């Protein structure tokens, strides 16, 4: 994703471009998964980014640690849904 696309996406979702660039650098945001139009990013991807940003600021951790925590939270939520579905 080009720098101007990052800036457009950052403005669209009210995030710092530097945070999005850090997410791209560490792999929390995959450039291949993003559409050519930065305004057409899937809602699930935006929700994950917002969760990651909130968590990083609330816990004062970097994007890498935040991405690990968000991944673990999502795994727990999926496991909980699966358990509820089976009962």
**Measured CA angle at 49 (ends 77, 59), to 5 deg:** 75
pLDDT tens for the chain, residues 1 to 87: 677 788 888 888 889 999 999 999 998 888 776 777 877 888 888 899 999 999 999 999 999 999 999 999 999 999 999 999 998
Structural element, H or E, at residue 37? none
pLDDT at 83: 97
Spatial separation of the C-alpha atoms in residues 79 and 48, rounded to whole Å: 17
Supply the Cα-derived Rg of the chain in whole angstroms.
14
Residue for token digits 């640690």? 65
45: left (phi over 0), alpha (psi -120 to 50) or beta: alpha
Which residue segments constitute the domains of the chain, with CATH numbers given? 3-86 (1.10.1660)
């Amino acid at each position: 994703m080009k720098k101007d696309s990052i800036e457009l996406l950052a403005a669209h979702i009210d995030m710092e471009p530097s945070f999005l660039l850090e997410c791209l650098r560490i792999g929390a945001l995959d450039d291949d998964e993003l559409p050519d139009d930065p305004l057409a990013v899937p809602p699930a991807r935006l929700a994950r980014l917002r969760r990651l940003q909130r968590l990083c600021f609330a816990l004062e951790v970097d994007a890498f640690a935040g991405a690990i925590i968000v991944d673990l939270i999502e795994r727990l939520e999926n496991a909980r849904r699966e358990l509820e579905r089976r009962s």
